[in-house]
Amino acid sequence: MRSKLVLVLALVMGLVTTFLFFQYMNQVNAEKTMNSHLVEVVVAKEKILKNELINAQKLEMVMVPEKALHANTIKNQADAVGKLANADIEQGEAILSHRLGTEISEEIYVSRKVREGYRAVSVGANFNQSVSNLIEPEDEVDVVFSLKKTEGNETKVQSTIILEKARVLAVGRKIVLPEDTQEPYAEYSSVTVELKPADALKLVNSAEQGSIHFMLHKRPVITEKKSAGDSDQD
């Protein structure tokens, strides 16, 4: 009787051992299959905040199993550098294409254009004050403040430059360059510039006390290099 019990227990233990062995081998084979198809993807080297402009220092490449890969995972750093994060991206998290945006794709948001530490502020500007409505987004302007003073029967106007080379973010509601829109010219009655907070206060106070004029700087001219076959003469 005892020998039969031992035999039965041995058979049961053998079946259990065989089952566990096959389970283990299946798991090992599955892991080998996944690891045999690794691909390199882009992940966040450190935390990236929402609306942050992504640079190469924020990214790194890691190997992950292809089967565990999200369809929108970015595999080339160039596809992420220069883009804006639409949400917080944690350290080590894979970069997904649908969580990135571009400044071009978000042209309707002037807030995307404002640099860190600066503010956008608008002031009214008529046809003459805005250089005949010829100021365009991304131009640089000097701001002239004019104040009328009455001395006896004589009224004098005192003008001074209060800000230099302020970056224009928008004219009216137009925030894109003329070459990037089907309507290159638009009349407007306000100019939005990017300034440090203290300078923004100065501009607002000046606009309330007197009148504001903008002086337009020369936009740098981009010239293409001549090809080897070109000549200086026609």
pLDDT of 66 over the 70 cut: yes
Q: What is the pLDDT of residue 103?
A: 52
Q: Which segment of 41-55, 152-166, 190-204 scores lowest on mean pLDDT?
A: 41-55
Residue predicted with more confidence, 200 or 27? 200
Q: Which segment of 18-32, 110-124, 155-169, 202-216 scores lowest on mean pLDDT?
A: 18-32
Which amino acid, residue 184? P
Q: Any idea which residue has 């010239």 for tokens?
A: 223
pLDDT of 122 over the 90 cut: yes
Q: What is the pLDDT of residue 35?
A: 55
CATH of residue 49's domain is 3.90.1210.10
Q: What is the pLDDT of residue 150?
A: 86
DSSP secondary-structure letter at 147?
E
Residues 90 and 161 grouped into a single domain:
no
The token duo for 165 is: 């080379």
Q: Which structural domain, as residue segments, surrounds residue 88? A: 38-101
Residues 84 and 174 grouped into a single domain:
no
pLDDT of 43-63, one tens digit each?
Answer: 999 999 877 889 999 999 998
C-beta pairs of 87-92 under 8 Å, 24+ apart in sequence: 87/50, 88/47, 88/48, 88/49, 88/50, 89/44, 89/47, 89/48, 90/44, 90/47, 91/44, 91/45, 91/46, 91/47, 92/43, 92/44
pLDDT of 226 over the 50 cut: no
Residue 94: CB atoms within 10 Å: 19
pTM: 0.53
Determine the 3-state secondary structure of 28 from DSSP.
Answer: helix
Average pLDDT value for residue range 75-79: 91
Residue predicted with more confidence, 16 or 34? 16
Q: Between vectors from CA 16 to CA 11 and to CA 22, what angle results, nearest 5°?
A: 125
Residue predicted with more confidence, 224 or 209? 209
Domain assignment present for residue 6? The answer is no
Is residue 163 within 8 A of residue 203, CB to CB? The reply is yes
Residues 131 and 158 grouped into a single domain:
yes
- Domains contained in the chain, number: 2
The token duo for 186 is: 């638009």
Residues 62 and 130 grouped into a single domain:
no
